[in-house]
Amino acid sequence: MATKKKDGQKSGAAKPGADRFSSEGRETAATKVAPAKGKLGVMVVGLGAVATTMISGVEAVRRGLAKPIGSLTQMGTIRLGKRTDDNSPLIKDFVPLARLNDLVFTGWDIFEDNAYESASHAQVLKSEMLTKLKPYLEKIKPMPAVFDSYYVKRLHGTHVKKGKNKRDLAEQVMADIRAFKKTVDRVVMIWCGSTEIFMRPKAVHQSIEAFEKGLEKSDIGIAPSQIYAYAALMEGVPFVNGAPNLTVDIPALVELSKKNAAPICGKDFKTGQTLMKTVLAPAFKARMLGVSGWFSTNILGNRDGEVLDDPMSFKTKEESKLGSLEYIFQPEMYPDLYKDLYHKIRINYYPPRGDEKEAWDNIDIFGWLGYPMQLKVNFLCRDSILAAPVALDLVLFMDLAKRTPELKSIGIQEWLSFYLKSPQTAKGLYPEHDLFIQSMKLKNTLRHIMGADLITHLGLEYYD
C-alpha cells in the first residue's frame, strides 16, 4: 500500500518504526542485512600513532574510562520519518553494527614494539591512561610486515617478512589472515601504515591477471600496501586505506573486490585541514562567493610528519589534499568565481610539536562587485585524536557493508567518502567532497539498506 510521502521522503520499502530495528539484522524488501554475530577481527597494518590511539580508545571506552567522542557510529543518531515524528535512534541501534566489546585487534608493523610501547612512543595519549591499559595493549604484538624502503624512504624496518617474490609475500599475509580467521567470526583490514611514494597506475595494475603476473615478477609497480590489499581481497576481507597511497585505486583490485565480495573505499582519513576545507568551500560556493587563493600550511612532528618530509611521500599526500577544492568549486562551471584559484599546500616537519599539529589557512575570497575579503583559519588539532574515531567508524561500516547483500559485491563503497580525503568512485564519476552531501549520502545509504524511507529535506507537507 502506498504511504503518503513525508518531509520529501522517497518511499522506500516499509514504513520504519525504531522498535523494528535491532543489532540482530532486519529483513527488508530489498535486502537482508546479516546480524553482527560474534567477534569482529580487526587487522591493522601499521601499529603507529593512529592505530594505537584507536585501539587504546576502544579499550578505554569498553572499560568506561572515556567516551567515544568523534565517532558517528558510537554517538550519532539518524532521523527516521517526519520531523514531527520524534524518531531519531542511535545509528548503532538502527543498523546491526559490531559492538565494541566484540572487536579483537591484531596487526603488522616493521618494528617489533607492542601496542603499549608504540602508543607510548607516539605520545598521543597521556601516560596515566596508557598505564591503565598496559596489560591489554602489551598483548597486541605486531606480526612481521611486508616492507621495502624504496616505497617509504625515511623508514628502515627490521621486523619484516622475507620471500622469494611479491607473490610469496602476499601468500604469507594470506596465511596470517587465515590463522586469525580461526579465532574470530569476521575480519576487516585497515591500512594505518605510512604514506608511500607517489605512484601512478601502470599496465601491471590494469587487470587481476596482469597484477598476479606482476606479483610473480616482483614488479616495482606493486607497493607493499597493494600486497596487503591483494591478500585481504583474496580472502574476501574488506580493506580500508587510511593513507593517500594508490593501493586499491586501480582496476585490478577494484575487480578483485567485486569478484570476492570484499568491499573497498576511498583513501586517506579526512581529519584536520581537509575536513575544514570541505566544510568552508561548499559554504562559499553555496553563496556564490569567489575564491582567488587558498594557502594551507601545517607543522607537525610525529613519525607521519617525518615520513612526509620526504618529497616522494609528500607528493602522494599533496595530490590527495589538492583534489577537494577543484571538485567542490567546479571552476569550469563557475569561471568568474574559481578559475584563477591559486591553491598551495605545505607540510613542515617540526619535531617539537609531535602529534599536536598546527594548521593555518589563508583564504582570499571576493564578494559583490568583486570586493576582496580574507578568512584565516588556525586549527590547533591533534592528528591521531581526530583520526582514531574515523578509523573505527570505517572498520565498523565496512564490516556492515560485507554483511549487506546489496553492498558487498559492488566493490567501492562510495557512501563512506564522508571519512576520506580522496573518495573513490565508479569509472567516469567525479568524487563528491562536500562534507554535508557526503553525510546525507551516508545516512541515506543506512536508511536504504534498512528499508526505511530516504530523506530529501523537501518538507512541503508541513505546509499543506
Ligand X SMILES: NC(=O)c1ccc[n+]([C@@H]2O[C@H](COP(=O)([O-])OP(=O)(O)OC[C@H]3O[C@@H](n4cnc5c(N)ncnc54)[C@H](O)[C@@H]3O)[C@@H](O)[C@H]2O)c1
Which residues of the shown chain bind ligand X in the complex (CB under 6 A)? 45-51, 108-111, 122, 145-147, 152, 155, 192-195, 224, 242-243, 268-269, 271-272, 302-304, 307, 383-384, 386-387
CB of 310 to ligand X, least distance (A): 12
Q: 366 or 379, CB closer to ligand X?
A: 379
Q: 51 or 416, CB closer to ligand X?
A: 51
Query: Helix, strand, or coil here: 137?
Result: helix
CB of 190 to ligand X, least distance (A): 10
- The whole-angstrom separation of Cα 339 and Cα 291 is 9
- The whole-angstrom separation of Cα 384 and Cα 401 is 25
What would the DSSP string read from start to end of 174-197?
Answer: HHHHHHHHTTSSEEEEEE-SPPPP
- Short-list 185, 186, 204, CA closest to 261: 186
What would the DSSP string read from start to end of 278-324?
Answer: HHHHHHHHHTT-EEEEEEEEEEE-SHHHHHHTSHHHHHHHHHHHHHH
What would the DSSP string read from start to end of 400-453?
Answer: HHHT-HHHHTSSB-GGGGGGEEE---STTPPPP--HHHHHHHHHHHHHHHTTPP
Q: 80 or 388, CB closer to ligand X?
A: 388
CB of 49 to ligand X, least distance (A): 4
CB of 204 to ligand X, least distance (A): 19
Q: 353 or 448, CB closer to ligand X?
A: 353
CB of 69 to ligand X, least distance (A): 15
Q: 30 or 220, CB closer to ligand X?
A: 220
Helix ranges (DSSP H) in 12-109: 49-62, 72-75, 91-94
What would the DSSP string read from start to end of 451-463?
Answer: TPPB-----GGGG
Q: 352 or 370, CB closer to ligand X?
A: 352
CB of 70 to ligand X, least distance (A): 11
Q: 7 or 117, CB closer to ligand X?
A: 117
CB of 275 to ligand X, least distance (A): 9
Q: 155 or 322, CB closer to ligand X?
A: 155
CB of 205 to ligand X, least distance (A): 18
Q: CB-based burial of residue 343 (10 Å sphere; 0-12 exposed, 13-18 middle, 19+ buried)?
A: middle
Cβ atoms of 294 and 325 within 8 Å: the answer is: yes
One-letter amino acid for residue 275 of the chain:
L
CB of 113 to ligand X, least distance (A): 8
Q: 257 or 384, CB closer to ligand X?
A: 384
Query: Helix, strand, or coil here: 257?
Result: helix
CB of 197 to ligand X, least distance (A): 12
Cβ atoms of 204 and 210 within 8 Å: the answer is: yes
- Short-list 306, 302, 312, 109, CA closest to 196: 312
Dihedrals phi, psi of 379, to nearest 5 degrees:
-105, 110
Helices 273-286 and 435-449 cross at an angle (nearest 10°) of 100
Query: Nearest to ligand X by Cβ — which residue?
Result: 48
Q: 146 or 170, CB closer to ligand X?
A: 146
